[in-house]
């Protein structure tokens, strides 16, 4: 049975509130962990951790942003010592980016902060409810990606962190 307009309105309003809460938490985490680096720049470290060194264009595609935006973020991450460049041995005009030890440590710190937040927020939940919510969120993301592709839009980029 299809969802009713009231249910869709309630769900989209709830998701909007969740996104705002997530942004608020990200800003607080970014201030305490990363100083003046934008929090979305940190999503760029995950593909480097997962897939190893790569070109900026591949990294931009992996996180779903424009190469010019990725380039600025990489420069900031490089200045902070979390990413380093080296010439691409297959194409001397290009460079490869890799995660440094400091970048890997920053990801560990970020994950610990997020885990602390989740443990506190979910303290009154039982495991079954938390697992069910995770499954439903993953299902919603899959369906949003399918809907975006069906409408001819780029899919939502997942960056596991």
3-state secondary structure at position 76: helix
Cα separation of 20 and 77, whole Å?
25
84-108 exposure pattern, b = at least 16 Cβ within 10 A, e = fewer: beeeeeeeeeeebbebbeebeebbe
**Is residue 145 situated within a structural domain?**
no
Q: Establish if 160 belongs to a structural domain.
A: no
Q: Which domain holds residue 63?
A: 5-121
User: Is residue 54 domain-resident?
Assistant: yes
Structural domain includes residue 65: yes
Could you read off the pLDDT tens digit of each residue along the chain, which spans 161 residues? 889 999 999 999 999 998 888 777 766 666 665 555 556 667 899 999 999 999 999 999 998 889 999 999 999 899 989 999 999 999 888 999 999 999 998 888 878 887 888 899 999 999 999 999 999 999 998 998 898 888 887 665 555 55
């Amino acid at each position: 049975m299809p969802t009713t307009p009231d249910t869709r309105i309630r769900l989209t309003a709830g998701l909007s509130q969740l996104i705002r809460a997530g942004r608020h938490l990200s800003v607080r985490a970014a201030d305490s962990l990363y100083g003046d680096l934008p929090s979305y720049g940190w999503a760029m470290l995950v593909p480097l951790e997962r897939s190893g060194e790569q070109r900026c264009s591949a990294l931009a595609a992996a996180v779903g942003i424009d190469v010019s935006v990725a380039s600025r973020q990489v420069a900031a991450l490089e200045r902070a010592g979390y990413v380093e460049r080296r010439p691409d041995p297959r194409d001397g005009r290009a460079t490869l980016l890799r995660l440094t030890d400091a970048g890997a440590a920053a990801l560990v710190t970020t994950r610990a902060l997020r885990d602390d937040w989740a443990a506190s927020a979910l303290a009154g939940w039982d495991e079954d409810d938390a697992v069910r919510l995770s499954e439903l969120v993953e299902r919603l993301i899959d369906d949003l990606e399918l809907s975006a592709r069906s409408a001819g839009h780029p899919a939502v980029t997942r960056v596991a962190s």
